[in-house]
Amino acid sequence: MSAIVLLLLGLAGMALGYLFYSRFIAQRIFKLDPDFRTPAHEFEDGIDFVPTNRFVLWGHHFTSVAGAAPIVGPAIAVIWGWLPAFLWVVFGTIFFAGVHDMGAIWASVRNRAKSVGALTGDVVGRRARSLFMIVIFLVLLMVNAVFGVVIARLLVGNPGAVVPVWGAIAVALVIGQLIYRRLLPLGLVSVLGVIALYALIYVGPQVPVSLPDSTFGLSANASWILLLFLYAAIASVLPVWMLLQPRDYINGLQLFVGLILIYAAVLIVNPAIVAPALNTDLPPGTPSLIPLLFVTIACGAISGFHGLVASGTTSKQLARETDARFVGYFGGIGEGALSLASIILATAGFASLADWQAVYHAFGQGGEAAFVNGGARILEQGIGISAEVSATMLTVMAALFAGTTMDTGLRLQRYIFQEWGEIYQIKWMGKALPATLLAVGTCLVLAFGAGGADGSGGLLIWPLFGTTNQLLAGLTLLVITLMLIQRQRPARYTAIPLAFLLVMTLLGLLLQLRSFFIDKNWFLFGLGSVVLVAAVLVALECVAALRRSRQVAP
């Protein structure tokens, strides 16, 4: 099987989805209105509410939602063979992710840019809102605590990535000034930003940076985690145009350059996909493809975290409601394209089937290492970039995505505390600084309280991320569907993905609970049970709200 065939089929499918399906959903279902006054204009404050160029906002939305998940998830899921992962990524992007992201932005913009949790209170009811926000808080806690660990390990394991990862922050600060203070043309600023970023990637391996093995009794890994949270806390309270927006924008451009290089290398080398289409020789202990495929690949098909970003930061910066199609749906396309590259590199970046099987000898293997190593091999053969620089470039790509997700995740967690302060009339919690300290504090308590001096406590609850995240996506679709029904518009375009996702995710969660019970892992069993009960109760509240709306409808 030629990797070129897979590449062209996947890109063609997603392009058609954007050109035709997204236009239909935007115009006929959500009825996006270019004259609607968005919250970015209505509440403009120069900090969180900032009307933004749609290309810049696309960069923010896409890189915030991407993280490392669209790379890691598909690179793990190919253990079942490349075909199931390919089909889920392509069709999931077209019919699930794009509609979900665009719908979450639309729902939030039509409700004063409220988060999906808060607007649940308006659409469904206060009890559902409280339950939903528990699920949201857990997802954000998992993302922030775990991504801190992931980035720290990348920096410890790849000292050459330290300069480009931290240097990108300085580049972003300059880019923000050039766009908003110097008012330079966006095209010129974009070129300067990309050149600066790739210059850092070139310099990084020549100036590796490592922290001491022990600083005040903390390992290098733990020291990086503390520095990352200190940075994220500062970033989360700065005006979005100063760091968050430009950092995400140039990272989005970096992705395009990286994807162009990867796709060009694939077209030149034309590597064969050595992995089987359907793997019938699965390693012992590999879970069943159904339902776990739809939980393992989240970002790149559909992800609940997208709804948090769409209704958390993106909706506050949307200049025109019609931009939701480009920012939201095309953001999903960007993730799908990245996941497609991950599938190709993790199945065609090996010399033989035996080499591939040696890596994929157990479930959970492959992942980011398969993406980086396979990509470095193809880039060296196709473009002539040395394996060392290629590996650094791909590592930096993963680390920057994880970093931008952590930036936005901590800001969103701050919003959650502020909304709780507003809901329960706790005035001090509604302020930015105390809410930020609470957000960082809960993450650090999990990281160091549960994980010890190494700071890896977030990994303890990570096994629940996939199912909790996908439940969140289903519940977001549930709220959007309810809004459409209340407006007497066709709802099957969100209801069908919703039904499929809820069934698969609930099955996955039940299987996980059974596994936790057998292993006597009472912590994860209890936490998973809380998530399951909360999700079921929110769904029941939505059904009740739907009945009420039908009773009052003319």
Residue among 176, 227, 189 nearest 60 (CA): 176
Q: What is the mean pLDDT of the chain?
A: 88
Residue among 510, 526, 86, 79 nearest 285 (CA): 79
Is pLDDT above 70 for 144?
yes
What single-letter DSSP state applies at residue 238? S
pLDDT tens track for 272-292 = 999 999 999 999 889 899 999
Residue entry with tokens 């809380």: 530
Compare 489 and 64 and report the one with higher pLDDT: 489
pLDDT tens track for 216-249 = 888 998 999 999 999 988 888 888 889 888 888 8
What pLDDT band is residue 409 in, cutting at 50, 70 and 90?
A: confident
Query: Can you state the angle between helices 3-16 and 244-269, rounded to 10 degrees?
Result: 140
The count of other CB atoms within 10 Å of the CB of residue 195 is 11
Whether this model's pTM surpasses 0.85 = yes
Is pLDDT above 70 for 319?
yes
- For 145-246, strand residue ranges (E) read 214-215, 218-219
Is pLDDT above 80 for 480?
yes
pLDDT at position 13: 97
State mean pLDDT over 312-333: 95
Is pLDDT above 90 for 33?
yes
pLDDT at position 109: 96
CA 332 – CA 425 distance, rounded (Å): 36
Residue among 472, 353, 409 nearest 144 (CA): 409
State mean pLDDT over 425-443: 90
What pLDDT band is residue 551 in, cutting at 50, 70 and 90?
A: low
What pLDDT band is residue 213 in, cutting at 50, 70 and 90?
A: confident
What pLDDT band is residue 550 in, cutting at 50, 70 and 90?
A: low
DSSP string, 71-112: HHHHHHHGGG-HHHHHHHHHHHIIIIIHHHHHHHHHHHHTTT
Is pLDDT above 60 for 554?
no
Asked if 9 contacts 94 with a C-beta cutoff of 8 angstroms, the reply is no
Which range is most confident: 23-27, 221-225, 249-253?
23-27
Is pLDDT above 80 for 175?
yes
Residue 430 contacts by C-beta under 8 Å, 6 or more apart in sequence?
A: 418, 421, 422
pLDDT at position 552: 56
Token pair in block for residue 14:
């997603």
Q: Considering only 59-68, 134-143, 252-261, 373-382, which range has the smallest mean pLDDT?
A: 59-68
